[in-house]
């Protein structure tokens, strides 16, 4: 029998996890042949609510779910974990920026980074969802000096998915026609969904959608401000779509990226495109199906794109400076 993959998830009693955990247990993340054990981590005050989530997981009788463990101790929660999805932390409310969450959420990722360092399996791969996710992932990475840096990532897949739908709708095609969507930089208002490389039905998106004003204006703003639009409409931040994006992130990191395409993940920069080494920056990446990935290099970026790419880098450096005491 295949050994179950141990998936550790923080914030497991929260809104995102309430949609995400059931889909993971159903095999939508690691495949219908891969058994899993869920290791669910919460704070003490949320353990009772978490026990209710576990009752519901039990009541689904998922054949692939070989076990569920719950704890409020990060060291236990990350024990032997192969995959870690770090969702736990406060969401923003109306009128807040994601970066306003740094003071509340940043310290969580020192403890969790250390617990991953000391307990997780050798092949651990981490995605940070809790905001501000790039900087939280940076904190976790710095607190896990024995884990290879490239195993720490932050989630910009939701932005990629948002961009895909906007472009497909404008072009009047199905989302599956939209490929090569690269989100650059920070999961924030400065992120750059670089439409210059995107393809629609195999053609340059800029040839299919010739309205450059829409691409530079409404398209970019819709993607950059979508999180706020959802909070304003729902009174709470995106949850089901965020859980879906986390599943997409880990699923696509676990399999080879289709030829010619790429996906977006925030990963530690190795200096590509002049982005400062070590910053947790979203790039277009290609995965090898064995847990590795490489940043897509050699893309021809216009002066317009380079300006955007630098602006979001600057913001990430500013966030890093705010949390410098949490970095080792
Ligand atoms: P939520 O408030 O519903 O749930 C968060 C859960 O985290 C709570 O149950 C809380 O008890 C738990 N938690 C807090 N501190 C913890 C800790 N130290 N260890 C373990 N659990 C802890 O919030 P949510 O809607 O699920 O959102 C969670 C986070 O995800 C927020 O920071 C939100 O901004 C972020 N988010 C990111 C994206 C993205 O695209 N990157 C998208 C949506 C939401
Ligand atoms: C999102 O993009 O929906 C999340 O990051 C939540 C938020 O605060 O916008």
Q: Is 259 exposed, middle or buried (0-12, 13-18, 19+ CB in 10 A)?
A: exposed
Mean pLDDT of 239-259: 98
**Percent of the chain beyond pLDDT 90?**
98
Q: Are 157 and 264 in contact (CB under 8 A)?
A: yes
Mutate which of 88, 104, 160 to test ligand 1's pocket (most atoms within 8 Å of Cβ)?
88
Q: How many Å lie between the centroid of ligand 2 and the Cα of residue 173?
A: 26
47-60: pLDDT as tens digits? 999 999 999 999 99
The catalytically annotated residue of 66, 142, 187, 249 is: 187
Inform me whether the pLDDT recorded for 1 exceeds 80. Answer: no
All domains in the chain, ordered by first residue: 5-154 (3.40.50.720), 157-322 (3.90.110.10)
* Ligand 2 probe mutation, 96, 191, 221, 230, most atoms within 8 A of CB: 230
State ipTM: 0.99
Mention every residue, 6+ apart, whose C-beta is less than 8 A from residue 296.
Answer: 182, 262, 283, 284, 285, 286
Quote the ligand 1 centre to 87 CA distance (angstroms).
5
Q: Which residues line ligand 1 (CB under 6 A)?
A: 10-11, 13-16, 41-43, 46, 87-92, 101, 105, 108, 129-131, 133, 155, 158, 187, 237-239, 242
Instruction: Give yes or no: 187 in active site.
Output: yes
User: What does pLDDT average to over the chain?
Assistant: 97
| pLDDT for residue 90 | 94
Task: Find all residues with CB under 8 Å of 210, minimum gap 6, and list them.
Answer: none
pLDDT in tens, 194-211: 999 999 999 999 999 999
Q: Considering only CA atoms, which residue is closest to atom 4 of ligand 2?
A: 227
CA distance 77 to 103: 24
d(CA 290, CA 255): 7
pLDDT band (50, 70, 90) for residue 192: very high
Which residue has the CA at smallest separation from atom 2 of ligand 2? 227
- In the reported structure, the alpha carbon of residue 61 is separated from the centroid of ligand 2 by a whole-number distance in angstroms of 32
Dihedral angle at the C-alpha atoms of 49, 55, 59, 64, nearest 10 degrees? 100
Mean pLDDT of 298-316: 97
Exposed, middle or buried, 222 (CB in 10 Å: 0-12/13-18/19+)?
Answer: middle
Q: List pLDDT tens digits, range 155-183.
A: 999 999 999 999 999 999 999 999 999 99
Q: At residue 2, does pLDDT exceed 90?
A: no
Q: Is the dihedral of CA 270, 272, 278, 284 positive or negative?
A: negative
User: Of ligand 2's atoms, which has the minimum distance to the CA of residue 228?
Assistant: 9
Cα 237 to ligand 1 centroid, rounded to whole Å: 10
- What is the distance of C-alpha 59 from the center of its chain? 29
pTM exceeding the 0.95 threshold for the entire prediction: yes
């Amino acid at each position: 029998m295949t050994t179950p993959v141990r998936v550790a998830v923080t914030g497991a009693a929260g809104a995102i996890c309430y949609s995400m955990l059931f889909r993971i247990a159903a095999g939508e993340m690691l495949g219908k042949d891969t058994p899993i054990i869920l290791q669910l981590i919460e704070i003490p005050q949320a353990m009772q609510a978490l026990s209710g989530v576990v009752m519901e997981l039990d009541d689904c009788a998922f054949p692939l779910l070989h076990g569920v463990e719950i704890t409020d101790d990060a060291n236990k929660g990350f024990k032997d974990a192969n995959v870690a999805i770090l969702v736990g932390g406060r969401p923003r409310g109306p009128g807040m920026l994601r970066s306003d969450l740094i003071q509340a959420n940043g310290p969580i990722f020192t403890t969790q980074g250390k617990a991953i360092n000391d307990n997780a399996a050798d092949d651990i791969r981490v995605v940070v969802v809790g905001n501000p996710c790039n900087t939280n992932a940076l904190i976790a990475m710095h607190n896990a000096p024995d884990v290879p840096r490239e195993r720490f990532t932050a989630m910009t897949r939701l932005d990629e998915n948002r961009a895909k739908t906007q472009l497909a709708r404008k072009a009047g095609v199905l989302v599956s026609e939209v490929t090569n969507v690269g989100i650059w930089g920070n999961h924030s208002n400065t992120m750059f969904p670089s439409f210059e490389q995107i393809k629609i039905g195999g053609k340059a998106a800029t040839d299919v959608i010739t309205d450059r004003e829409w691409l530079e204006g409404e398209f970019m703003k819709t993607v950059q401000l979508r999180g706020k639009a959802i909070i304003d409409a729902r009174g709470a931040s995106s949850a089901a779509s965020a859980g879906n994006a986390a599943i997409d992130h880990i699923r696509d990191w676990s399999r080879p990226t289709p030829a010619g395409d790429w996906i977006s993940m925030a990963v530690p920069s190795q200096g590509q495109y002049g982005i400062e080494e070590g910053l947790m920056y979203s790039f277009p990446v290609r995965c090898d199906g064995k847990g590795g990935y490489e940043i897509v290099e050699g893309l021809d970026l216009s002066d317009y794109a380079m300006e955007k790419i630098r602006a979001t880098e600057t913001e990430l450096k500013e966030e890093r400076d705010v949390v410098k005491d949490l970095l080792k």
